[in-house]
Structure 1
């Protein structure tokens, strides 16, 4: 199975946007990480980020225009100073990353073994950061026990992905999580079967214990009855002995010299 943990990525700076009077917008959230090609078509008055959808440039040019790449990463641009020229520029986003709510550390996108420490467990997570292209909340998977609640939460997060994201990749990730749900269900059913079997054994043991208790009660009763009978017999024998002794003594006391001589 697989386990999951939460990763938070943020964009701290974007280079390459200041071209032909275009700048980063003072408002809006930048989420690109790594290199993304920005293309402005002056003829069609459109702007496109990477393989994302081309967005029309309104008239007059706005101070806040969001453009999205196919991976869901976004850049918000200020077109108020645009010269109207054609533009092809590479935007580069640099950022930082946090594991399970821990402190943010600089994200080195060339690192194939980025080590992050979980603040809750102290365990290290080793990441390949070379494929990171956008900021946001992500779920890292690793070999281990599956938490079905984390799986459901991950499915919900995937389904909330921006519509401009790579849907094929998203469907693949959701499919993996659904497989985990099926495996979790199978483990749950197996566990319930084992629980039922153990419960049945406990019931059988309880019945046997009740039968044994009844048998022990009968045996104890027999032992007690035998002791009482023996005690009664001994008492009866003692009474007979006492009576015989008393009778003999009385006769001896009645004897006289005349009886003896006679």
Structure 2
């Protein structure tokens, strides 16, 4: 399955606390196994699973087993450590299309206890020219009840003709076209690149038809180390997390119900991992 990583980027590592964006599909998986991501660990982040088509089964070391479909949110808070697997169910939809995102946790919350939440009834704003589903945070008065740790917003814009949305000038924003063609700031964008919009904006005007992912948040000023599936404050935290996963330490627990082996951690680089800010 084709996967396009738009964050972290060569010039920009974060947008608000958003630190990772993978766009995958659309892929025809009819008569095939579909998604198979074996158990693997996370620390210091939240995973945000968002589907445009298809269905995926989430399993984690807390005992959660939750199917997700388009319009629903699976939000997993790793904190000090969690493990999970994601697979297409045995009887799955023929097309799989979605986005996997990470949100970095601030230092004060990086060692919080792991948690998982499924949100099947997110707030939807309706306008003459389209609609908006608020995934995380708040937009135009609509508030998602998903758990957050920093001022942040994530929303899917279903643009029929056009949308004009209020923004927070103290947030930085970026947009990712998921399908169709959207015109933003006079630029026509198709699916693929992430467009960074910066701070200081109080409105966003988008012409369609298109489906667009809006990401934003208060600029994240802490320096972080991001390596494999871990977000940490320094090199030593990464080394310890890798060692704990390799030793099957109870820190990460076990993903029950998955029939195969967990993913092994890759080798650490030969040089020290240095904390970096949101811009390279």
TM-score bracket for this pair, using the shorter chain length = under 0.3
TM-score by length of 1: 0.25
TM-score by length of 2: 0.24
- The structure whose Rg is larger is 1
